[in-house]
Structure 1
Amino acid sequence: MEQQALFTEIPITDVEGLRIGNAQDAEAKTGVTVLIFDEGAKVGIDVSGGGPAARETHLADPTTADSPANAIVLSGGSAFGLAAADGVMRYLEERGAGYDTGFARVPLVLGSCLYDLGVGRADVRPDAAMGYAACVDAEANEPISGDYGAGCGATVGKICGMGRSSNSGLGMFAAQVGELKVAAVVAVNALGDVRDPETGEVLAGLRGKGGAGFVDTRSVLYGIARRTDIFTGNTTIGAIVTNGDFSKAEMSKIASMARNAFARCINPVGTLADGDTIYAASTCKVAADVNVAGTLAADVMARAIVDAVRSAS
């Protein structure tokens, strides 16, 4: 109760300039979540995992051109899922969005994928059609947590393989301090276990033999005497979106501060068997302090991670 008094929870749709849409194949257990910025957004990034699958991440580098991004795509399908961004680009181009090159408008779309090929069907991955469908869903702007979008095939606690893992999903949370609004969207597909940072309770992770209770993933990891091919089908991908007015460099700092939520909730995290990535996008509406925004980003990301596992079926 004392923690909630520090900020006010708000609907994620209250963040100006942001629309969110999901599309998924429930049978194949894979999907796409798209964040669309109708007026563009300055984007930063933090990559802490050792095996990311991503596209256009250099657009978030503060040394590149300061052109506003049009969308961020979170997808299943491992690197195959990068194709979903093609559908997002087609949707945006049809609506006149993108950087004007003089000959055509080129939508600026960043994206990251998680590995869900071990769940459902490995031969069905997010494609351009699914990316386009997620954009159409964003027109209603009524995003849902759980087994939807990029979280459709998400699981956690996989160091001993899929048979002892737990279901996870897509999580969301948003909060406000004064005029500053900060939202988090995350698909939690981690090697490690997920805890509630407020209580320490294990919410999802490596299950005991026979499915009873949870086993600390670290106890298995520490038992590995030498380097071996531990199960690598992981990656937690997410985005922070704020109405605060920040530069790309400041947004990268906010993304790195949001990574503290991964450490609070997921253990182990950021291993070579993960591709953990956080985007941070500014719709540049209100003046704000970067330290406040980064601290709030970590809080809302932690709540979003908890939402992802609690809302999963």
Structure 2
Amino acid sequence: MTHTTTTTTFLSPVTHGDSHDAGSITRVPGIEVGHFTDPRRPTGCTVILAREGAVGGVDVRGAAPGTRETDLLDPSNLVEKVHGIMLAGGSSWGLDAAGGAVRWLEEHGIGFDVVVGRLPLVPGAVLFDLLVGDMRIRPDAAAGYAACEAASRADPAEGNVGAGTGAAVGKIFGIQNAMKGGIGTASITVGGVTVGALIACNALGDVVDPDTAQVIAGARTDDGKQLRDTRRALLRGELPKPLLAGTNTTIGVIATDATITKAQAHRLAVTAHDGLARSINPVHTMSDGDTLFALGTGVSGQNPGMMVLSTMAAEVTAIATARAVRAARSITTAQGLYLPSAQDLG
């Protein structure tokens, strides 16, 4: 990795310590998470590992996605299981981080048996965080390798870490009126089956509480002191700033220990987007590349049915998205960009 000096400042992320335990994606047996956080910009990447392999699916809803190896997850295609998912900042450059995960997995003897060796399969997606700090600093293969080295079954840190390090939300009226995004996680267990989600939220729109529909973080008023409420602002005729396509995006992974098919994994990814729609407004825009992956480890040996699993997937996605901004901390970059957190305006 090329090292460049910068004076970006930001506060440390939070870990699970809330009075209410929302769980995490690592509560799903067979799933590990590791972050790499680069404070020089800031940016980073997050890997979700399934060492024993997991049935995979994906659904891309945003119109400006940046992805890797999503075609192999199509239910009609050959490969059944993958060994990890890489989420990264850095826009298209960040796709390089998955290569580091592939190298780490190969070194540990993990991958698809191709007779002459093992081929690790690591699909991925990136978000655009290049407006936050020095865009020449972005996750690369070394960052992805480091994220794997840090992976564990512990509840992952949330907020300004990994793929959420440089995330911002509410950019419709300009990045100068936006707020800090981040990464969040949650899980639910019903009848002995667990579904968890990990979401890196860099949305163009506002993030809202999925239970109350109140805006948590997003576009601010011109004086920077209050939430603008993007949905209502647009409906009353306020014009958005000119937008560069693909400069946003919410990406994430939904995992379960249920026994599911590849087609069911795809359907879980589809229904998980309902959770994004409950917690982001507007969502799936022409300037977002919203992409959700689904993984099934099968460790529980059970399948409660797609109605239950889909409901759980949408719920944990909505909760994790809201947690991503609630856990975030304000930052001020060396270039003078200030992104307050939800706590600052709360």
Q: TM-score, normalised by structure 1?
A: 0.93
Q: Which moved more, 1:256-265 or 1:96-105?
A: 96-105
> Which of residues 257, 271, 275 is equivalent to 1:261?
275
Note the 1:85-104 alignment, pairs <5 A.
85-104=98-117
CA distance in 1, matches of 2:321, 2:214: 13
Contact 1:21–1:142 (Cα < 8 Å) also in 2: no
- Aligned partner of 2:284 in structure 1 is 270
Partner deviation per Cα, 1:3-52 (whole Å, 9 max, x = no partner): xxxxx954543211000000011231111000000110001111110010
Say which SS state the counterpart of residue 182 (structure 1) adopts.
Answer: strand
Aligned residues: 305
Give 1:220 deviation, angstroms: 5.5
- Aligned partner of 2:207 in structure 1 is 194
Q: Which moved more, 1:255-264 or 1:107-116?
A: 255-264
Note the 1:132-151 alignment, pairs <5 A.
132-139=145-152, 141-151=154-164
Q: Is 2:131 the counterpart of 1:118?
A: yes
Structure 1: where are the runs of 5+ without partners? 1-7
CA distance in 2, matches of 1:53, 1:221: 27
CA distance in 2, matches of 1:201, 1:95: 46
Q: Is 2:69 the counterpart of 1:56?
A: yes
Give 1:159 deviation, angstroms: 1.2
Say which SS state the counterpart of residue 297 (structure 2) adopts.
Answer: strand
- Aligned partner of 2:309 in structure 1 is 293
Q: Is 2:88 the counterpart of 1:75?
A: yes
Partner deviation per Cα, 1:226-257 (whole Å, 9 max, x = no partner): x9942431000011000011111111111111
What amino acid does structure 2 have at the position aligned with 1:214?
L
Say which SS state the counterpart of residue 197 (structure 1) adopts.
Answer: coil
Say which SS state the counterpart of residue 328 (structure 2) adopts.
Answer: coil
CA distance in 1, matches of 2:98, 2:128: 16
CA distance in 2, matches of 1:158, 1:188: 12
Q: Is 2:146 the counterpart of 1:130?
A: no
Partner deviation per Cα, 1:279-304 (whole Å, 9 max, x = no partner): 01000122211111111011111110
Partner deviation per Cα, 1:141-193 (whole Å, 9 max, x = no partner): 44101100000011100012210001010000011001110000000000101
CA distance in 2, matches of 1:139, 1:165: 33
- Aligned partner of 2:327 in structure 1 is 311
CA distance in 2, matches of 1:309, 1:94: 35
Say which SS state the counterpart of residue 104 (structure 2) adopts.
Answer: helix
CA distance in 2, matches of 1:208, 1:229: 17
Contact 2:91–2:128 (Cα < 8 Å) also in 1: yes
- Aligned partner of 1:250 in structure 2 is 264
- Aligned partner of 1:238 in structure 2 is 252
Q: What is the percentage of aligned positions where both structures have the same residue?
A: 44
What RMSD in Å do the two structures reach over aligned CA positions? 1.8
CA distance in 2, matches of 1:120, 1:197: 31
- Aligned partner of 2:39 in structure 1 is 26
Q: TM-score, normalised by structure 2?
A: 0.84
Say which SS state the counterpart of residue 130 (structure 1) adopts.
Answer: helix
